[in-house]
Amino acid sequence: MGPEYLAPHNHPSSPKMMQRSRALHGGGGGIADKMFPGYKDKIWARLPQAVKEYKVKGENNKFESDIASHRTWQGYLLQWKALEKGFVPNAKFRKPAVDWRRQMERGTMHYGRWYEGPNGTDYSPGNTHDRLTADVRAPFTAAEWTERQNHRSFDIMKFGYVCLAIFLAYRVTNEWPVVWCDDRKEGVEDQSE
């Protein structure tokens, strides 16, 4: 039996489709491939046809099972990703404010207070008009005063007077029990009769 018989392409019972393809790298392989060049192909050529079919089917089944596993996990992951979309913050409920660092960078920072008056003071040096002490008699403008009167709450003094009137009316109209203390000694009858 010569080397031409051991070559896989010359073997009489090896169809072309059952030959393994391998990449030929210079200096690749292990020590056995250096000592016996092409030994894997020679072993493959010597294997019976049933063993070759079994090995090829095993590799194909492994590949197909990996694809099926991937499809299964992909279904779960896509469901989770679809669920994650519901956790995205809604722009409808976003905080309608920008922090002061971004306002400074954008040039939109307003150095003032939300309770400033019509004078537009920002409490910086030279611009500190305090309208509550500057005009004690009229701290609000006429427009502000009419606006504040629209949102007036119930007067607590009137409520207190009503509660006091109800209490006094209750005390006046009801009978109160009177407890008399009997300070007479036992066995002694009243002599005043």
Which percentage of the chain shows pLDDT scores above 90? 29
Number of domains in the chain: 2
DSSP type of residue 125: T
Give the position of tokens 């492994």: 62
Return the HEC string of 67-102: HHHHHHHHHHHHHHHHHHHHHCCCHHHCCCCCCHHH
Helix locations, 10-48, DSSP H = 31-35, 39-46
Q: What average pLDDT score do residues 141-162 get?
A: 83
Q: What is the pLDDT of residues 35-76, one digit of tens each?
A: 888 889 999 999 999 999 999 999 999 999 999 999 999 999
Whole-prediction pTM: 0.29
**Secondary element (H or E) of residue 9:** none
Does residue 145 lie in a domain region?
A: yes
Which domain, by its residues, includes 145? 100-173
> Which of 33-37, 69-73, 86-90, 141-145 shows the highest mean pLDDT?
69-73
Claim to verify: residue 32 and residue 82 sit in the same structural domain: yes
Q: What is the pLDDT of residue 1?
A: 47
pLDDT at 5 over 70: no
Quickly state the pLDDT bin for 167 (edges 50, 70, 90).
very high
Claim to verify: residue 70 and residue 122 sit in the same structural domain: no
Claim to verify: residue 82 and residue 13 sit in the same structural domain: yes
Phi/psi for 127 (5° steps) reads: -135, 55
Claim to verify: residue 80 and residue 142 sit in the same structural domain: no
Q: What is the pLDDT of residue 67?
A: 94
